[in-house]
C-alpha cells in the first residue's frame, strides 16, 4: 500500500473480509492482515456454514433473516465478473425439533412471525414423512457416554418440529471469504498474508497501528480485531479487556462426517436439523454424507484452549459421542470405524452472542465471539461494523448513545448496543452454539 491505510483489519475470515468489503465500498483504504497464507483458511474454513433464521432472541433472529438475503443474492451482492468462481448456497430448509428445552419453539415462532420470516409447524408425522430414516423416540436429557442410561429412550416421543424453508448451507465457506476479498479488492482493498501481529501500537491515547513479527510497523488510525479464535489475544495486546463484561475464548470442537444410511439420499433429500433432544445438529454433506455437530449439552465437558495455535487436532471420544447420539435419531445410521470430519476452534463469547463494538482504546474496534453461529451473518455484520466505525470516528459516543442501525432488506431499525462488549449477559441466549 503506497500510503498509510485508513484501517487495518486483523483477520481474513468471512467476517473480516465482509468488513473489508463494506469499508472499501465506503471509500476507506483498508489493509487486511492474516497469519494464514490463504484467505478464509482459519476457523472459517472449518465452519459448518449453516444459514438459518431461528434464534432465541428477537435481535438475533432479525440479524439472521436479514443475512439470508445476501446469500440468496450472493452474485448481485458481490458484483464480481459473471465467470467468477462463487461459493454456492444450497437452500435445503431447516427443521428444529420441538422440545421442552427450547420451549417447543414458541419464542422462535414469535420472533419469526414478527419479522415475516416464513416457517411451518410440522407434526411428528410430517417430520418422518420428510425424513423417513428418523425415529422420534425421546432421549432427553442428553447423557454422557459413561452414563448407564446413555442411548436409552425415556419412553416418550417428540411432538414434531418447526421448519424454516429458507435455511441451508454454503458448500465452500473458505471460498466465500475469497469471494468477499475479491469484491473488496475491486474497491481498492489490500491484503497481506503470512504475517503475524505481535503488538497493537498506541500513541496519544489512541491506536496507532500494528507491529508484525518481522519488526515492521504499519500505522493506521483505525485497527479492527476480527481474528476469530485469536481475538482474545489481540484484545489483550491492545489492553482493552478491563471494561468488558463479555469475554471471548477459543473453544475446541469436533464435527462428525458419516455416510447416509443405505437407501436414503441425504445429500439431496435431507436438510438442516437441529435436535436438542439428542443435543446434535446436522446437515447434508457432499458425497451423500451427513455432517453432525454438537449443541453443547451440560453433560459434555468444554475443551477451552489457551490459544488458537497449540491445541489437539486429533479426534477424541467427542466424535464417538456425537455419532452415537445421532444414531439414536437415525437407528439405521451405522458408525464407521474410520473417523472423518473437522477439528477446529470456536471464538465463543460469554453468552454466545457476538461482540460488534468499539473498545476503550479510541480507534480500536472488535468483531469477536462470532464462531459457531455468526458465519451466516457475515455480510450484514460487515455492514454493521462499517457503519459503527464511521459513527464513532465522527465523534459519536457509542457507549453512551448506541448507534441505531437499519437492516437494509428488512427496513428495520435496530440498536447496535445489543452487541456491546459492556452489555449484561443476555439471559435469553441458549448459551450454546445455537446463540
The per-residue pLDDT for 371 is 81
Is the pLDDT at 432 greater than 80, yes or no?
no
**Res. 102 pLDDT band, cuts 50 70 90:** very high
Is the pLDDT at 3 greater than 50, yes or no?
yes
The per-residue pLDDT for 1 is 43
Calculate mean pLDDT across residues 84-112: 97
Is the pLDDT at 434 greater than 90, yes or no?
no
Calculate mean pLDDT across residues 193-202: 98
Domain count, the chain: 2
Domain boundary among the residues 310, 344, 378 is at 344
Note the pLDDT tens digit of each residue in 317-347.
Answer: 999 999 999 999 999 998 998 999 999 999 9
Sign for the CA dihedral angle at 333, 338, 344, 348 comes to: positive
Domain boundary among the residues 327, 344, 361 is at 344
The per-residue pLDDT for 435 is 67
Q: Are residues 180 and 232 in the same domain?
A: yes
The per-residue pLDDT for 428 is 80
Note the pLDDT tens digit of each residue in 238-277.
Answer: 999 999 999 999 999 999 999 999 999 999 999 999 999 9
Arithmetic mean of pLDDT over the chain? 96
Calculate mean pLDDT across residues 86-92: 98
Note the pLDDT tens digit of each residue in 175-185.
Answer: 999 999 999 99
Q: Are residues 153 and 29 in the same domain?
A: no
The per-residue pLDDT for 427 is 86
Q: Are residues 65 and 181 in the same domain?
A: yes
Q: Are residues 14 and 53 in the same domain?
A: yes
48 domain-assigned: yes
Calculate mean pLDDT across residues 182-211: 98
Q: Are residues 413 and 267 in the same domain?
A: no
Note the pLDDT tens digit of each residue in 360-409.
Answer: 999 999 999 998 789 999 999 999 999 999 999 999 999 999 999 999 99
Domain boundary among the residues 298, 328, 344 is at 344
Percent of the chain with pLDDT over 70: 99
CATH code for the domain in which residue 27 is found: 3.50.50.60
Calculate mean pLDDT across residues 153-165: 98
Note the pLDDT tens digit of each residue in 35-50.
Answer: 999 999 999 999 999 9
Answer with the residue of higher pLDDT: 359 or 426: 359
Q: Are residues 219 and 200 in the same domain?
A: yes
CATH code for the domain in which residue 108 is found: 3.30.9.10
Percent of the chain with pLDDT over 90: 94
Q: Which domain holds residue 261?
A: 91-167+250-344
Answer with the residue of higher pLDDT: 373 or 80: 80
Amino acid at each position: 500500500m503506497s500510503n498509510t491505510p485508513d484501517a487495518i483489519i486483523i483477520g481474513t475470515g468471512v467476517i473480516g473480509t465482509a468488513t473489508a468489503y463494506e469499508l472499501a465500498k465506503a471509500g476507506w483504504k483498508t489493509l487486511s492482515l492474516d497469519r494464514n497464507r490463504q484467505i478464509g483458511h482459519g476457523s472459517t474454513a472449518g465452519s459448518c456454514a449453516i444459514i438459518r433464521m431461528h434464534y432465541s432472541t428477537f435481535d438475533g433472529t432479525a440479524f439472521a433473516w436479514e443475512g439470508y438475503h445476501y446469500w440468496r443474492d450472493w452474485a448481485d451482492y458481490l458484483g464480481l465478473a459473471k465467470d467468477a468462481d462463487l461459493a454456492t448456497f444450497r437452500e435445503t430448509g431447516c427443521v428444529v425439533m420441538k422440545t421442552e428445552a427450547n420451549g417447543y419453539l414458541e419464542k422462535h415462532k414469535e420472533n419469526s412471525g414478527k419479522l415475516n420470516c416464513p416457517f411451518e409447524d410440522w407434526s411428528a408425522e410430517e417430520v418422518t414423512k420428510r425424513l423417513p430414516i428418523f425415529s422420534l423416540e425421546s432421549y432427553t436429557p442428553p447423557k454422557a457416554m459413561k452414563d448407564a442410561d446413555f442411548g436409552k429412550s425415556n419412553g416418550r416421543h417428540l411432538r414434531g418440529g418447526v421448519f424454516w424453508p429458507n435455511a441451508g448451507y454454503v458448500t465452500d465457506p473458505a471460498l466465500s471469504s475469497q469471494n468477499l476479498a475479491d469484491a473488496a479488492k475491486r474497491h481498492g482493498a489490500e491484503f497481506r498474508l503470512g504475517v503475524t501481529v505481535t503488538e497493537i501500537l498506541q500513541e496519544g491515547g489512541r491506536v496507532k497501528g500494528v507491529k508484525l513479527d518481522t519488526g515492521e510497523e504499519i500505522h493506521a488510525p483505525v485497527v479492527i480485531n476480527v481474528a476469530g479464535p485469536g481475538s482474545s489475544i489481540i484484545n489483550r495486546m491492545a489492553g482493552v479487556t478491563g471494561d468488558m463484561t463479555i469475554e471471548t475464548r477459543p473453544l475446541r470442537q469436533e464435527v462428525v462426517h458419516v455416510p447416509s444410511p443405505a437407501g436414503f439420499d441425504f445429500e439431496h433429500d435431507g436438510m438442516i436439523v437441529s435436535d436438542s433432544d439428542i443435543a446434535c445438529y446436522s446437515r447434508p454433506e457432499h458425497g451423500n454424507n451427513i455432517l453432525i455437530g454438537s449443541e453443547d449439552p451440560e453433560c459434555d465437558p468444554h475443551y477451552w484452549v489457551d490459544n488458537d495455535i497449540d491445541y489437539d487436532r486429533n479426534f477424541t471420544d467427542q466424535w464417538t459421542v456425537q455419532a452415537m447420539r445421532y444414531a439414536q435419531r437415525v437407528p439405521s445410521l451405522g458408525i464407521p470405524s474410520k473417523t472423518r470430519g473437522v477439528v477446529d476452534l470456536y471464538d465463543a463469547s460469554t453468552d454466545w452472542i457476538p461482540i460488534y463494538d468499539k473498545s476503550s482504546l479510541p480507534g480500536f474496534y472488535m468483531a469477536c465471539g462470532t464462531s459457531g453461529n455468526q458465519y451466516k451473518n457475515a455480510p450484514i455484520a460487515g455492514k454493521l461494523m462499517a457503519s459503527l466505525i464511521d459513527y464513532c470516528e465522527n465523534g459519536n459516543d457509542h457507549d453512551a448513545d448506541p448507534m441505531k442501525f437499519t437492516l437494509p432488506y428488512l427496513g428495520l431499525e435496530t440498536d447496535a448496543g445489543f452487541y456491546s462488549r459492556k452489555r449484561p449477559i443476555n439471559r435469553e441466549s441458549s448459551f450454546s452454539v445455537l446463540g
